[in-house]
Structure 1
C-alpha cells in the first residue's frame, strides 16, 4: 500500500481497504499522509506497540462493535466502490463508446 499511496498526488482524506491490508505498514503509511485509515482488524487482533495508528481502530471497534465502527467510519463505501468496479469489468469488450 505505501507504493500505491505514493502514486497519489495531493491530499488524501481517507483510505478504506479490506482486512487483507491489516498489516503493520499500511496504517502507518496512511497516517504519514495525514489520512484516516478504515481497515477492519483481523480476528484476535492485538495493539501494536505505543501510538501505532492501528490501535485507534481497535479501540473504536471495541467501543462501538464492528458493525458500529463500519457505519461510523464510512467503510461501506469501499464495498460500493468495489462492486461498481466489478460491474465495469464485467462489461469488458462489449463497451465501445
Structure 2
C-alpha cells in the first residue's frame, strides 16, 4: 500500500522520518500553482497522481508528474524525488 503524506516547508530546516521504500518528493510551486484553482486542491491532485504512479522508477515518476502538472505554465518548475532503501534494495544506486 502506498502512503502519501504532505508537508509544506518554509525557510526553516525541516526533518522527517521515512519508512523503508518511501518516496519523497520536493517541488517548487510551479508544479501546482494555478490562478483558477485553490492550492490545497492542486496539492491533493498531485498527491493522488504521485500515489497512483508510486510504483514507477523515480525517473518515470518525475516525468509523469511534470507531464501532468496542473499549473498554468507561467512559472518555472523543479521536481526532485528520492526513495529510501529496502531490504531487497539496500543503499545503492541502480
Normalising by structure 1, we get a TM-score of 0.24
Q: Hey, which of these two has a bigger chunk of strand by percent?
A: 2
Normalising by structure 2, we get a TM-score of 0.25
Q: Hey, which of these two has a bigger chunk of helix by percent?
A: 1
Q: Which has the higher contact order (CA 8 A, sep 6+)?
A: 2
